[in-house]
Amino acid sequence: MIPHMLTAPADRNEPTDDIPEPPVPTATGFHDEAAQRDWENYQVTRGVWRYQRSLKREVQRGARKGQLVARGIGDLEPGQRIADELIVPLTTAVALKQQEARDAIASPNLKKIPDDFAALLLLPAEVLAVVTVLAALSRAEPAGLQSCATDLGGKIQREVALRAWKKAEKEAEEEREETDAPWEPNLYDLMVKRNDKVDERVFTKWSKKAKRFVHEEWEQPVRTRVGMALISLIVAVDGWFEVAEVRDGLKTKLMFQLTDLGRAFVAQRHNQNELARPFMLPMICEPKDYVYLPSKQIEEPEDPSCADD
């Protein structure tokens, strides 16, 4: 068996060695039973090889175009299972956090509304939970806590901008219908229809063309505080993620990472998925022929109705 990769490396662009395809066994005789067993084992090994190949993707652009790199755990089956476990309880936790923010804003003792409080109220709790889980799974390997928080805050900011753009395009479309104004394309709907998946690259490309898209960049401290608030919630849910202190020389760094339970779950799912996808191939050699008795040796039973009384 080829050793499999449990989780994706922290550097998504780090090249990885290609996995060689297992050799194909050949039969040496018409009824080579040993070759038949090797052929069945080859089908299982080929399934393992196919699954391990699915853990990588090909770089589509840039200097490393054509190279195979590890895919993020969020794109794989173990990551999707973790997401299913996390989204519902995290949505509840985010909703409670939003209620705390509303209560704090309504308090007469509050002199200034914190920026992170206002940002957390710009999106529904479920949307914040989904964005947080996907961002956490894209950084499954240990990474600096502050960089993870800043990156998560940036994703929240882009989600807010995306929804504001969608609303502006819809309002402009309704206004044109009411005033019989000249037709203009709804670039948001056009972007969704022409792309199977709207990722950050597609969003950036189309938003530059839209005159109704308002680019609003949050300051770095705001993005970090928003991300920190959401990371603290996902760490407290079900024990999938943790913030660990890692010694780096004379310094101690805070790292955001999967817990030991999460890593064990990912490894277990990979092991199960490898064996659950064998290649269904025809037999490498024919089975033994059936042995038929000659027809003359088969005695037909007598019909009792024809017997003499």
Average pLDDT of the chain?
Answer: 81
pLDDT of residue 7: 34
Tell me, what CATH number does 244's domain have? 1.10.1320.10
Is the torsion defined by CA of 252, 245, 234, 102 positive or negative?
A: negative
* Residue 61 falls inside a structural domain: no
Q: Are 93 and 30 in contact (CB under 8 A)?
A: no
H or E element in which residue 58 lies: strand 56-58
Q: Provide the domain limits for residue 90.
A: 71-273
Vertex 100, ends 98 and 105: CA angle to 5°? 95
Which residues, 6 or more positions from 309, have their beta carbon under 8 angstroms from its beta carbon?
none
* Residue 193 falls inside a structural domain: yes
pLDDT of residue 235: 93
* Residue 118 falls inside a structural domain: yes
pLDDT at 170 over 60: yes
pLDDT at 177 over 90: no
Over residues 133-158, the mean pLDDT reads 88
Over residues 230-259, the mean pLDDT reads 89
Total domain count for the chain? 1
pLDDT of residue 278: 77
User: pLDDT tens-digit profile of 96-112?
Assistant: 999 988 888 888 887 77
* Residue 227 falls inside a structural domain: yes
Over residues 165-173, the mean pLDDT reads 90
pLDDT at 275 over 70: yes
Euclidean distance between CA atoms 40 and 115, whole angstroms:
62
Q: Are 244 and 142 in contact (CB under 8 A)?
A: yes
Per the model's pLDDT, the better-predicted residue between 211 and 141 turns out to be 211
* Residue 75 falls inside a structural domain: yes
Pairing of strands 251-258, 143-144: antiparallel
Name the percent of the chain lying above pLDDT 70: 83
User: pLDDT tens-digit profile of 2-55?
Assistant: 333 333 333 333 334 456 677 777 777 667 778 878 888 888 888 888 888 888
Q: Are 271 and 260 in contact (CB under 8 A)?
A: no
Name the percent of the chain lying above pLDDT 90: 28
pLDDT of residue 147: 92
pLDDT of residue 225: 92
Q: Specify the range with the lowest mean pLDDT, choosing from 1-10, 139-148, 224-233, 287-296.
A: 1-10
* Residue 155 falls inside a structural domain: yes
* DSSP letter for each residue of 9-26: -S-TT-B-PPPPPPPPP-
Please, which pLDDT band fits residue 71 given cuts at 50, 70 and 90?
Answer: confident
Q: Report if pTM > 0.95.
A: no
Instruction: Report the residue count for the chain.
Output: 309
Tokens of 88: 């519902």
Tokens of 58: 């090909």
* Residue 214 falls inside a structural domain: yes
Residue with tokens 């104004």: 181
pLDDT of residue 291: 66
H or E element in which residue 288 lies: none
* Residue 178 falls inside a structural domain: yes
Q: Specify the range with the lowest mean pLDDT, choosing from 41-50, 95-104, 130-139, 279-288.
A: 279-288
Over residues 83-93, the mean pLDDT reads 93
Q: How many helices (DSSP H) and strands (DSSP E) are in the chain?
A: 9, 5
